[in-house]
């Protein structure tokens, strides 16, 4: 992933006057000096709840976590923990929208596994805290990220580590909401396919609740093993490996 884009613009913090640097495409910026979060275009204060998680790992103990992961699981090469070398470890606060959405999908479809096929109707009613990545270019496996929402705390700039990178949002809340609705309907479509073989009608109603802007501390790890680079993403608050590339084990001679 590329996170170092050349900085081309600057504004002043509407609260303390300090310079805030931002990159093309970013729409919400947080001041590193006073923590004030503002909408870049208008300079106005950001109205939504801004939350984060406590990062509980530093450069040393995150390595322990990586090695522990390398040592466990039978799909990994036996010498992975011994031979791999960590070449990059960056703590990045990744922005997300967490959207409280109540949804009701009603559907009609054909169940073809019986002869004759039957028409079935049903509904799915679910409430979600749906997560939308607030970046366009950043690759992040959002659906694999089981976000530890119980642990969320108000965003406090004083707790952000000096060496950490903070990414600003590139996605407006309305756009995030549209994306969430689309993803929820797709998810329901997937669930419905377990009940009927062919969907004839589908309709989803949404009730939209609170939106929270959230910065999650994520460790981006790159390690080298047998001259190849591999990537890992680790949740810095609970230490869960969100994604870890496993090198293919060298096939031994039987």
> Shortest Cβ distance from residue 47 to Zn ion (Å)?
17
Distances in whole angstroms, Cα of residue 216 to Cα of each of 67, 109, 145, 148, 228: 23, 40, 11, 10, 28
Closest to 53 measured CA to CA, from 180, 152, 132: 152
Candidates 36, 93, 145, 225; binder of Zn ion (CB under 5 A) is 36
Is residue 128 within 8 A of residue 101, CB to CB? The reply is: yes
> Shortest Cβ distance from residue 34 to Zn ion (Å)?
3
Is residue 108 within 8 A of residue 200, CB to CB? The reply is: yes
Candidates 3, 11, 27, 34; binder of Zn ion (CB under 5 A) is 34
Site string for Zn ion, 1-30 (x = CB under 5 A): ------------x-xx-x------------
- 31 lies in the binding site for Zn ion (CB under 5 A): yes
Which residue shows structure tokens 């997300």? 96
Query: What is the Cα–Cα distance from 144 to 146, expressed in whole angstroms?
Result: 6
Q: Which CB atom, from 38 or from 169, has the smaller least distance to Zn ion?
A: 38
> Shortest Cβ distance from residue 158 to Zn ion (Å)?
12
Q: Which CB atom, from 36 or from 225, has the smaller least distance to Zn ion?
A: 36
* Site for Zn ion, rule CB under 5 A: 13, 15-16, 18, 31, 33-34, 36
């Amino acid at each position: 992933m590329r996170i170092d884009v050349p900085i081309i613009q600057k504004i002043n913090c509407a609260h303390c006057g300090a310079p805030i640097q931002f990159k093309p495409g970013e729409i919400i910026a947080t001041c590193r000096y006073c923590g004030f979060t503002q909408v870049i275009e208008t300079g106005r204060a950001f109205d939504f709840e801004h939350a984060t998680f406590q990062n509980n790992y530093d450069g040393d103990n995150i390595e322990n976590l990586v090695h522990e992961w390398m040592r466990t699981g039978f799909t990994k090469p036996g010498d992975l923990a011994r031979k791999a070398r960590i070449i990059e470890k960056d703590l990045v606060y990744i922005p997300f929208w967490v959207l409280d959405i109540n949804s009701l999908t009603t559907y009609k479809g054909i169940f073809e596994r019986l002869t004759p096929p039957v028409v079935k109707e049903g509904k799915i009613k679910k409430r979600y805290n749906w997560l939308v990545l607030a970046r366009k270019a950043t690759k992040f496996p959002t659906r694999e990220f089981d976000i530890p929402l119980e642990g969320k705390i108000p965003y406090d700039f004083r707790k952000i580590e000096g060496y950490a990178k903070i990414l600003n949002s590139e996605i407006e809340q309305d756009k995030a909401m549209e994306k969430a609705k689309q993803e929820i309907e797709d998810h329901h479509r997937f669930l419905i396919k377990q009940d009927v073989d062919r969907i004839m009608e589908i309709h989803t109603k949404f009730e939209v609740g609170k939106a929270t802007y959230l910065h999650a501390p994520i460790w981006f790890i790159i390690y080298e093993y047998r001259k190849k680079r591999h990537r890992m993403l680790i949740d810095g608050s609970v230490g869960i490996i969100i994604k870890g590339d496993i090198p293919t084990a060298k096939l031994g001679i039987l």
